Amino acid sequence: MNELELIQGLKNGDETAFRFLVDTYKDRVYNTVIAIVQNAEDAEDVTQEVFIQVYRSISSFKGEAKLSTWLYRIATTRSLDLLRSRKSKKRFGFIQRLLGEDSEPLYEIPDFNHPGIALEKKENAAKLFKAIRELPENQKIAFTLHKMEDLSYQEISEVMKTTVPAVESLLHRAKLNLRKLLEKDPGR
């Protein structure tokens, strides 16, 4: 099934087209999401939400970008929404503790392992993911899409709704920041 047939099938509510979409893109969407949210359970939930959103809003897809670009944009947005939600919960929990309620933090990010990483490299990967987590949001997204999903600068610019030179700059700054973070704390 080519992309035009897939889009038309999705717009017509064809269950086979939707199943094809999920089978074709679920691993790529999941890998993008887990690289951003760094929690397997949350990544599964966000991945499902991405496909639900596609199902509900395919009629608004204009075809100005590739379907995969649209999927990555939704996955990135949903992932960032989850991270923002976590941050607000953490801030609220911190404020509660400041005001006298002695409670545990509402959310702590657990250690996790990305499914695409070999066992012998997991320790180094964990250090890298911890450093990636500290990057500014735009750098984290650009780095993830380029290094983990192998998207081109042009595709990343479409997903992030920015220019190719801006993507190049984000990736350059991300690499510099990662190098600094990893050199500063090699035992990460």
Q: Please report which confidence band the pLDDT of residue 102 belongs to, taking 50, 70 and 90 as the band edges.
A: very low
Segment 92-109 shows an average pLDDT of 41
The pLDDT mean for the chain works out to 81
SS (H, E, C) 140-182: HHHHHHHHHCCCCHHHHHHHHCCCHHHHHHHHHHHHHHHHHHH
Q: How many Cβ atoms are within 10 Å of 143's Cβ, its own excluded?
A: 21
Q: 34-43, 92-101, 142-151, 163-172: which has the minimum mean pLDDT?
A: 92-101
Q: 11-15, 126-130, 149-153, 169-173: which has the minimum mean pLDDT?
A: 126-130
Domains of the chain (ranges; CATH) run 1-88 (1.10.1740.10), 115-188 (1.10.10.10)
Task: Report how far residue 85's alpha carbon sits from residue 83's, in angstroms, rounded to the nearest whole number.
Answer: 5
Q: What is the DSSP string of 54-107?
A: HHHHGGG--SSS-HHHHHHHHHHHHHHHHHHHHHHHHHHHHHHHHTT-----S-
Residue, of 172 and 118, whose pLDDT is higher: 172
Give the pLDDT of residue 99: 39
From the list 112, 123, 118, the residue with the least C-alpha distance to 186 is 123
Share above pLDDT 70 across residues of the chain, in percent, rounded to a whole number = 78
Position 115: which residue type? P
Give the pLDDT of residue 131: 86
Segment 116-131 shows an average pLDDT of 68
From the list 161, 156, 127, the residue with the least C-alpha distance to 144 is 156
Give the pLDDT of residue 186: 58
Give the pLDDT of residue 39: 87
From the list 136, 2, 152, 8, the residue with the least C-alpha distance to 69 is 152
Residue, of 187 and 175, whose pLDDT is higher: 175
Task: Report how far residue 173's alpha carbon sits from residue 84's, in angstroms, rounded to the nearest whole number.
Answer: 22
Q: How many Cβ atoms are within 10 Å of 32's Cβ, its own excluded?
A: 27
pLDDT at 111 over 90: no
Q: 40-44, 76-80, 107-111, 161-165: which has the minimum mean pLDDT?
A: 107-111
pLDDT at 152 over 60: yes
